[in-house]
Amino acid sequence: MNNFKVALTIGHSKESPGAVNQGYMINEYEICKKITDYAANCFPKEYDLCIEDNWTLGQEKDKIDKFKADVIVENHMNFASDTKKTGIMTIYEKDNAESMLLAFAVHEKLILALLRQDLGVINHETIKGWREWVSFFLFDKIKYQNRFGFDVPTILTEIDYISNSDVAEMIMDKNEDFIKKAGKAIADGIIKYNEDKLNKGMIT
Ligand SMILES: [Zn+2]
């Protein structure tokens, strides 16, 4: 059996870090990088990992293409001017059943691990017009294929609001429980998605 290939991509980039919480001096990219790096360490050895920076700028397309991922999971944090706004949502590609199944698997693990408000699993068409232009890029502009020639199930996580004061406090905690739990949940969700498929005999 081939190893299951997981591409984890970090929302935004060092140069263009996405949302910023000025009060706590933290930005979306640095936190998503920590979460993604932690997630990468939570997979058993029969999983191959590819970690991407700068994905949203499209600078690493060749690398992802060559990797032939079985799934792509891009990690973000949300932002609102209301510092009380909170909750986790996971976004999948509309009309793509595998993307939806992957989204539900990861979302459930995130909610159970972090015990934050559930803003649901939603399709990417629903969020058009938001600031998250990256979803357009991620779901509409570039199509990746796996080693069997099928579209790669791709999802985008919004791991709560970086603008939320409680979330920022948890992120700043020196034990990094929030970051570790989020990372492990993402890995657990991807593993569950893969195991569900194996149980159905869909991958040999
Ligand atoms: Zn973002």
pLDDT tens sequence across 127-164: 765 555 556 667 766 778 888 888 899 999 999 999 99
What is the whole-number distance in angstroms between the Cα of residue 138 and the centre of ligand 1?
Answer: 12
pTM reported for the whole predicted model: 0.92
Structure tokens at 46: 């029969």
Alpha carbon dihedral 64, 67, 68, 71, in 10-degree steps, equals: -70
pLDDT one-digit tens code per residue, 165-184: 999 999 999 999 999 999 99
What is the whole-number distance in angstroms between the Cα of residue 17 and the centre of ligand 1?
Answer: 8
Quote the CA–CA distance of 129 and 126 in Å, as a whole number: 9
Helix and strand totals (H; E) in the chain? 6, 8
For the chain, what are the domain ranges?
4-199
Q: Is the pLDDT of residue 54 over 70?
A: no
Quote the CA–CA distance of 64 and 81 in Å, as a whole number: 34
Nearest to 1 by CA among 194, 155, 164: 194
What is the whole-number distance in angstroms between the Cα of residue 187 and the centre of ligand 1?
Answer: 19
Structure tokens at 173: 């905690």
Question: Which class does domain 4-199 fall in?
Answer: alpha beta
What is the whole-number distance in angstroms between the Cα of residue 80 and the centre of ligand 1?
Answer: 12
What is the whole-number distance in angstroms between the Cα of residue 192 and the centre of ligand 1?
Answer: 25
What is the whole-number distance in angstroms between the Cα of residue 163 and the centre of ligand 1?
Answer: 12
pLDDT of residue 124: 86
What is the whole-number distance in angstroms between the Cα of residue 76 and the centre of ligand 1?
Answer: 5
pLDDT one-digit tens code per residue, 80-91: 999 999 999 999
CA gyration radius for the chain?
Answer: 16
What is the whole-number distance in angstroms between the Cα of residue 19 and the centre of ligand 1?
Answer: 7
Cα 162–Cα 60–Cα 151 angle in degrees, nearest 5? 90
Total count of residues recorded for the chain? 204
